[in-house]
Amino acid sequence: MIPEEDLSRLRQAIDFVQVASEYTALKKQGQRWVGLCPFHSEKTPSFSINAQEKLYHCFGCQASGDVITFIRELEHLDFVSAVERLAQKAGIHISYEEDADFALVRKERKSLLDLMTRAAEWYHENLLSHPQAGLARDYLRSRGYDGTLVRRFKLGWALDSWDGLVKALNIDADLLVKARLGFVNKTGRLQDSFRSRIMFPIFDISGQPIAFGGRSLPNQNTNALGGISKYKNSAESSLYSKKKVLYGLNWAKNAIVRQDLAVVCEGYTDVMGFYTAGVENSVATCGTALGEEHIKVLSGFAHKIVLAYDSDTAGQSAIERFYEWEKKYSLDISVAVLPPGQDPGSLAAKDPQTLSLAVKNSEPFLLFRLKRVFEKYNLSTAEGRAKAARAGLSLIDQYPDPIVKDLYLMQIADMSQLDPNVLRSQISTKGQNFSNSHTFLKKRPVLTTAKPTTALPMVELIALRIAINRPEEVMDLEEFLFSNELTHACYIALASHQDIHAAIGDSDPEVSKLLSKLAVEDDKGETGREIIARLVERAVLKELSKFEMKARRSNSLSVDMVAEFSWLKLSLEKIRQDDYSQDLLKSLLQWLHKFNSN
Ligand SMILES: [Zn+2]
């Protein structure tokens, strides 16, 4: 953990306007800085910065946060890396305060990362210049991988030796095993995990090597004789989890964000192939199927995902899972249709244009599956068309959205030259009702639960804005003056934290969002005193009507009650005429306080 002191020191030292200016041009407008939003594309500026508090908010896409969030989101960094990057810019030293266990974990992680970097470097140097790597270099050249590509992807070569890496790095056995770079064999000797393989370092999102994929050379592929397998990946470690890591994301992330589209392929060489074909936004799963964790990671970068698997693999993927992910992560998943038997890696060498066109003309996943099903039948006969239609119907039946389903039903009708109504009747006999709009409504995802800000009481919003920018003016604010759940929560957040950063960091997303938004709103010059008076007036009016009801219900009004009642009425009148003292406001607040605590 980074101590709060260091964070606030960093926030003080950093010039947010300067940092943000590296991403968008900013202009001063009143006390704010405004510009085109770096988080979404727009033509008129809706992005605004509060330079003093170092907070931003976009009135277009609702992106908001502080200078750390800004760097995190734009550079796709974790919290610590973002802080480190800013600290470097500001020339500030950040200390880590942590318990002993955590310090140990962190220290070990650093040692492992250092080790991986050294290993990647060693393998890479081997490939570039070791006499033993001649065959590997020839092979790569024959596949069209030149020196530039080899350097960009930092390919390497694991020597044909039991302990080449072990000896070269001269590293503590325990660490080497933890990094999955070596293991202790049955005779108790430390031995390399990879031998005689082309090495593909797998990097984490910030570009640090965390694992390796090793590919044997074709003439060594002697698996049938009990030899080595074609591909071998690092075993999972504390650095590397294959169900989360996507190969190439470190290079592709910016292109993915720019195009709002990620291409997912199966192997390291596919990613390299796409890159040479000019498709820079591709990533690969590492020796495992595309799973929800991968999807979750990708959904942080883009809304569109194009699968670039060979047709068979893509054709077997389960519709329900993809459908579920599309809904859950607001994604569109489609398929790049590659010529049969071709993988992106080999296609890139032969016909890069076809490869990039396949991505451009990708088909929605369900349509792709439907077409593959139809290919299996002889559509020149009535029986063949009927069978194909039936298979198609059972396929789209897995799709839960009735409207989409019906659109595909029309497609099936078209492809099989059958009457859509006949097909519909086929479906409804299975207990499915396509035209049931009620089900449709029920299954529609809820787009947003946030209440629109316009519906929030303006005077409460102004009070919060003053509390953020000029807290000394609204010392008298009380929580019962906030009638709205959200503004009330914002007030509590501000009142119970040292500063707005702590309040934002500690609150529900809805509260944080509103606070950041208020922090960059234009100050219209209302004074705290005015606003409190208006809040008090409103609260007294409300209580007064309750008070009146109570008075009416009781048969005899006490002298005290009558006096109280007339005092309130008189006070309200004074506020309305703008003829009130600070003392009067204080007394009314006290009265409200008493009234509210009863
Ligand atoms: Zn925006």
Three-state SS at 492: helix
> What distance in angstroms lies between residue 26's CA and the mean position of ligand 1's atoms?
14
> What distance in angstroms lies between residue 539's CA and the mean position of ligand 1's atoms?
37
Picking from 562, 563, 584, the residue whose alpha carbon sits closest to that of residue 575 is 584
Distance between CA atoms of residues 391 and 256, nearest Å: 36
Distance between CA atoms of residues 80 and 208, nearest Å: 15
CATH classification of 246-363, choosing from 3.40.50.2300, 3.40.1360.10, 3.40.50.970, 3.30.300.30? 3.40.1360.10
Helix (H) or strand (E) holding 239: none
> What distance in angstroms lies between residue 37's CA and the mean position of ligand 1's atoms?
4
The two beta strands, 32-35 and 26-29, are: antiparallel
Distance between CA atoms of residues 420 and 404, nearest Å: 14
pLDDT of residue 223: 47
> What distance in angstroms lies between residue 382's CA and the mean position of ligand 1's atoms?
54
**Domain ranges in the chain with CATH number 3.40.1360.10:** 246-363
pLDDT of residue 438: 32
> What distance in angstroms lies between residue 40's CA and the mean position of ligand 1's atoms?
5
> What distance in angstroms lies between residue 61's CA and the mean position of ligand 1's atoms?
4
> What distance in angstroms lies between residue 324's CA and the mean position of ligand 1's atoms?
27
Picking from 158, 30, 7, the residue whose alpha carbon sits closest to that of residue 90 is 7
**Domain ranges in the chain with CATH number 1.10.860:** 453-597
> What distance in angstroms lies between residue 356's CA and the mean position of ligand 1's atoms?
30
> What distance in angstroms lies between residue 578's CA and the mean position of ligand 1's atoms?
41
> What distance in angstroms lies between residue 284's CA and the mean position of ligand 1's atoms?
29
> What distance in angstroms lies between residue 93's CA and the mean position of ligand 1's atoms?
32
Q: Are 361 and 337 in contact (CB under 8 A)?
A: yes
Which long-range contacts (C-beta less than 8 Å, at least 24 apart) are formed by 11-15? 11/54, 11/66, 11/67, 11/68, 11/501, 13/90, 13/91, 13/92, 14/54, 14/67, 14/86, 14/89, 14/90
> What distance in angstroms lies between residue 245's CA and the mean position of ligand 1's atoms?
28
Write down the pTM of the prediction. Answer: 0.60
Residues 6+ apart with CB under 8 A from 264: 246, 282, 283, 284, 285, 290, 294, 298, 305, 306, 307, 308
> What distance in angstroms lies between residue 48's CA and the mean position of ligand 1's atoms?
9
pLDDT of residue 433: 41
> What distance in angstroms lies between residue 514's CA and the mean position of ligand 1's atoms?
15
pLDDT of residue 252: 92
Picking from 295, 205, 324, 306, the residue whose alpha carbon sits closest to that of residue 261 is 306
User: CA dist 595 to 348, 434, 541, 564, Å?
Assistant: 76, 58, 13, 12
> What distance in angstroms lies between residue 532's CA and the mean position of ligand 1's atoms?
33
Which CATH code for domain 4-90?
Answer: 3.90.580.10
User: CA dist 79 to 71, 91, 94, Å?
Assistant: 9, 18, 13
What are the pLDDT tens digits along the chain (598 aa)?
A: 777 888 888 888 899 999 998 888 899 888 889 999 888 877 888 899 998 888 999 888 888 899 999 998 888 888 888 898 898 888 888 777 666 676 777 788 889 999 999 999 999 999 999 999 999 999 999 888 889 999 999 999 999 998 999 999 988 889 999 999 999 888 888 899 999 999 999 998 878 899 999 999 887 655 444 456 788 899 999 899 988 899 999 999 888 888 889 999 988 999 999 999 999 999 999 878 888 899 988 987 888 999 998 766 766 777 778 888 888 888 889 999 888 888 888 888 888 899 989 999 998 888 888 888 888 888 888 889 999 999 999 888 877 777 778 888 888 988 888 888 888 887 754 444 433 333 333 333 333 333 344 468 888 999 999 999 888 888 888 888 998 889 999 999 998 888 888 888 888 888 998 999 898 887 777 888 889 998 998 888 888 777 777 766 666 667 777 788 888 888 888 888 888 888 899 899 988 888 776 6
Three-state SS at 64: strand
> What distance in angstroms lies between residue 331's CA and the mean position of ligand 1's atoms?
19
How far is C-alpha 438 from the geometric centre of its chain's CA atoms? 32
Fold of 105-233: DNA primase DNAg catalytic core, N-terminal domain (3.90.980)
**Domain ranges in the chain with CATH number 3.90.580.10:** 4-90
Fold of 453-597: DNAb Helicase; Chain A (1.10.860)
Q: Are 15 and 96 in contact (CB under 8 A)?
A: no
Sequence-ordered strand ranges (E) for 499-547: none
> What distance in angstroms lies between residue 62's CA and the mean position of ligand 1's atoms?
6
> What distance in angstroms lies between residue 36's CA and the mean position of ligand 1's atoms?
8
**Domain ranges in the chain with CATH number 3.90.980.10:** 105-233
The highest-level CATH class for domain 376-443 is mainly alpha
> What distance in angstroms lies between residue 107's CA and the mean position of ligand 1's atoms?
38
Would you state the structure tokens that stand for residue 263, as one six-digit string?
A: 């291409």
